[in-house]
Amino acid sequence: MNFKINPLIACILPFFTLFSCTQNKKTEEVKKPNIIIVYIDDLGYGDVGFQGAKGVSTPNIDALAKNGLVFTDGHCSASTCTPSRYSLLTGSYAFRNNAAILPGDAPLLIDTNKTTMPAMLQKAGYKTAVIGKWHLGLGNGYIDWNKTISPGPNELGFDYSFLVPATLDRVPCVFVENHHVVNLDPKDPIKVDYNKDLGAYPNGLEEPQLLKFGADKQHSNTIINGISRIGFMSGGKSALWKDEDMAKVLMGKVNNFLSENKENPFFLYFSFTDIHVPRAPNEMFKDKSTMGSRGDDIAQMDWSVGELMKALKSKGLDKNTLIIFTSDNGPVLNDGYDDKAEELVGDHKPGGPLKGGKYSIYEAGTRVPTVVYWPEKVKPGTSEALVNQVDLFASLAKLTGQKLAPKDAPDSFDVLDALLGKSKTGRDVMLEEGFTLALRDNNWKFIAPQSKPTPNWLKNKNIASGLQETPQLFDLKSDISETKNLAATNKQKADEMAAILNKIKTQ
């Protein structure tokens, strides 16, 4: 039989197809998942219940882990904050920009001409926000905290920002919301100086009786809220934060952002201040752990995660939101304040079975709790895939259908299939950054020699820095705690990895 298309149908068919395509596209667009990166500060591999925490329980995070995909080899890019955050947002390794821990009055570290992860997601139709710790610098040089503070996150692709500008232990102790210090009284202007005391507030060295807890010399400058900080400030009394209210304030801002954006896809970089020093949790969490304020801070952090999940559920956002829970670097106990973190740790192991911690090139420096949770798409389970936060840029670009230009996110690999549990493998080769560089090649780990010795301040922390004048090679499959240096016995492998590392450095 000869089949002939009716001319009228033939005429309207292309329009119909076009219409149904647009419809499909619309449905696709509606289905774009919301994306939340829950970024904890200084949380170690072993600091969560599902990875063996003792002395504190983390029921909300454990529920996320139970119903999500847990990565046992998930990494931040570096063992300190600024470099990890730089990599997360730019998809570049931090050493390419010499990114290191910044003072609280440093200029913006990321070039505003660079394509960032939030800018890429904006292009994909997302409303974007950063709420919490920033620590990537603000402004072009000198910051006048009393005027418009720019450039900053809003110039890098975030539609909304509510920031702790640097760290909890650095002045100024005020929030910056979209270019402006919150609650600033113009009659009481803020000044910040990292070298000389401005005299307006007492300092920790001269008036230790005013302190809630003692601190080392670096953390003994201006006292704000009974806690001495790094750096000096004056003015801004009405704008000062209260550490004990921090978790609630940040959660309030998160709640507002979720309410305002529940009808459209959003990207939220929820950047916690817990569990970084100074640790002054809300009284709700007092003695929730047996480990003093570091443990209580973990409990507070877990509470925030629970509040986030409740907020998502109440707004009907719990199913189609992809949550990535992780940390910016490994754990540290004593980081400058007398908060008894070392004395009270008991048999809790902040880095789990891993060696080192914050500041270290050993595994505990960058291997951190990592969970991907997305009830609609990701099956619960455990993955041994090697993944790095530097890869989130390319992976989220893939997820949201964005094409990257060759110069964008140069170190970011698309590991989306691993993140969604569709593939068991992530990267083969990956850089780790500390005060030297290391390379992972599957389960092999090579640490580049470093002639600079471990700084004294780090020696006092009981954290193995990993800095040695000769190369180190470990087989993590049989030696997860990096105890047997095989560089001499397997020189061929060490040389091969040194060569790959050099190639990455010069790319």
At residue 393, what is the residue type?
F
- If one asks whether residue 460 binds ligand NG6 (CB under 6 A), the answer comes out as no
SS3 383: strand
Of the candidates 277, 280, 416, 438, which one interacts with ligand NG6 according to CB under 6 A?
277
Of the candidates 33, 36, 41, 464, which one interacts with Ca ion according to CB under 5 A?
41
Question: Which DSSP helix (H) or strand (E) runs through 432?
Answer: strand 429-433
Which stretch in 124-132, 206-214, 329-337, 441-449 sits in contact with ligand NG6 by CB under 6 A?
329-337
Cβ of 283: how many Cβ atoms within 10 Å? 9
Of the candidates 58, 167, 282, 389, which one interacts with ligand NG6 according to CB under 6 A?
167
- If one asks whether residue 227 binds ligand NG6 (CB under 6 A), the answer comes out as no
At residue 499, what is the residue type?
A
Q: Which residues pair with 129 in a beta bridge?
A: 160, 268
Positions 289 through 328 that interact with Ca ion (CB under 5 A): 328
CB of 150 to Ca ion, least distance (A): 25
Positions 477 through 506 that interact with ligand NG6 (CB under 6 A): none
- If one asks whether residue 463 binds Ca ion (CB under 5 A), the answer comes out as no
- If one asks whether residue 220 binds ligand NG6 (CB under 6 A), the answer comes out as no
Question: Strand 381-383 relative to strand 69-71: parallel, antiparallel, unpaired?
Answer: parallel
Residue 295 vs 357, nearer CB to ligand NG6: 357
For tokens 């978790």, the residue is 247
What residue ranges in 10-76 does DSSP mark as E strands? 34-40, 69-71, 74-75
Q: Report what 46 binds from ligand NG6, Ca ion, none; CB cut-off 5-8 Å by kind.
A: none
- If one asks whether residue 169 binds Ca ion (CB under 5 A), the answer comes out as no
Residue 190 vs 230, nearer CB to ligand NG6: 230
- If one asks whether residue 364 binds Ca ion (CB under 5 A), the answer comes out as no
- If one asks whether residue 433 binds Ca ion (CB under 5 A), the answer comes out as no
Which stretch in 24-32, 172-180, 283-291, 328-336 sits in contact with ligand NG6 by CB under 6 A?
328-336
CB of 100 to ligand NG6, least distance (A): 9
- If one asks whether residue 164 binds Ca ion (CB under 5 A), the answer comes out as no
d(CA 104, CA 117): 23
d(CA 478, CA 486): 12
Q: Is 114 exposed, middle or buried (CB count within 10 Å of its CB: 0-12, 13-18, 19+)? A: middle
- If one asks whether residue 335 binds ligand NG6 (CB under 6 A), the answer comes out as yes
What residue ranges in 252-330 does DSSP mark as E strands? 266-271, 321-327
Answer yes or no: are the C-beta atoms of 430 and 386 closer than 8 Å: yes
The count of chain residues that interact with ligand NG6, using the rule CB under 6 A, is 16
Cβ of 293: how many Cβ atoms within 10 Å? 25
- If one asks whether residue 17 binds ligand NG6 (CB under 6 A), the answer comes out as no
The DSSP-derived string for 105-143 is: TPPP-S-TTS--HHHHHHHTT-EEEEEEE--S--SSSS-
d(CA 193, CA 211): 21
CB of 444 to ligand NG6, least distance (A): 27
- If one asks whether residue 457 binds ligand NG6 (CB under 6 A), the answer comes out as yes
Of the candidates 276, 279, 288, 440, which one interacts with ligand NG6 according to CB under 6 A?
276
Residue 135 vs 445, nearer CB to ligand NG6: 135
CB of 216 to ligand NG6, least distance (A): 7
Nearest to 98 by CA among 109, 112, 107: 109
Distances (CA, A) of 20 to 17, 24, 463: 5, 6, 60
